[in-house]
Structure 1
Amino acid sequence: MTERLTAEEYKDAHAPKGKGKEDRRRVRGAQRTITADGITHDSKTEAQRWEELKLLQRAGEICGLRRQVDIGLIGRDGPIMTDGGEQQRVYKADFVYVDNALGITVIEDRKGHETDVFKIKKAILAAQGVEILITKAKGH
């Protein structure tokens, strides 16, 4: 006799182990990566860029290196709010630092693929006068 499973039992049996829900923010198979200093990054290329930027900071070429920095989105009538209206929508920059040679703050995003949501946020930031430096991994 064959044992029958309900749809819920089948889903539970085939769910990824050790994780809750599937992370739908992953783009094109990007895998979270942990760097030597224990920081979790959204992709291998982001982790590689973090290591490069740390070297540039040690060399004195950049300073004030930060990661995952929230930048509020502002529209014509003020802050762009979430659907519930309780929080301001934000763009989360991969890296923010000061380029010492140019004397400017750089907002950088490491991309393998630009999503539609990213393109919209980039356009909103451009209207605010904020430019994003997009770096791509070699081979992309």
Structure 2
Amino acid sequence: MTQRMTATEFLSSHHKGTTKGKKTRPNKFGAKKTTVDGITFDSEHEAKRYRELKTLERAGLISDLSLQVIIPLIGANGEQLRGESGRKLTYRADFKYCDDGKTIIEDAKGTKTKDYLLKKSILAAQGIEIVEV
């Protein structure tokens, strides 16, 4: 005779990790959330890049470091693009900073999804380049 699992046992065996008491699924790309300076990053790679940029900022080599900067996606007609639901479309960049007077938009990328590649193309048409690290 097979042994039966309770719903709680099933859920705990299928959901690894917790966030503030809530069960969470592992990241589909294998990224592990990492906290640095009280800030939780989506991946160890992104957290490492943050540490590097903070070091550069402290040394005075870059300035105005910002995290999770929202950039509107603008269409050819000059209006902000909207999704099927009518919501305005945006891109959330991991980092934005000033390097020698030039604004840099940077993304700590592991897997390049179709959504990311599409948004990157739209931003390129707007004259905004994303630096991938």
TM-score calculated relative to the size of structure 2: 0.83
In the alignment, what sits opposite 1:84? 85
Contact 1:27 1:113 in 2 (8 A): no
Q: Which residue of 2 aligns with 1:72?
A: 72
**Equivalent position of 2:50 in the other structure:** 50
1:74 positional shift: 1.2
Identity, % of aligned positions: 45
Deviations 1:89-117 (CA, angstroms, capped at 9, x unpaired): 111100000002xx110000111221211
The corresponding residue for 1:120 is 118
Shift of residue 9, structure 1, vs aligned partner = 6.4
Where 2:108 maps in the other structure, the secondary structure is strand
Q: Secondary structure at the match of 2:65?
A: strand
**Cα distance, 1:14 vs. partner?**
3.0
How many residue pairs get aligned? The number is 128
Q: What is the rounded CA distance, in whole Å, between the counterparts of 1:129 and 1:123 in structure 2?
A: 10
Residue deviations 1:24-44, cap 9 Å, x none?
A: xx3520111111x11100110
CA contact (8 A) 1:33 1:44 kept: yes
Q: Which blocks of at least 5 consecutive residues in structure 2 are unaligned?
A: none
1:92 to 1:14, Cα distance in 2 relative to 1, 3 A: same
Q: Structure 1: how far apart are the matches of 2:42 and 2:53?
A: 16
TM-score, scaled relative to structure 1:
0.79
Alpha-carbon shift at residue 10 of structure 1 (Å): 6.8
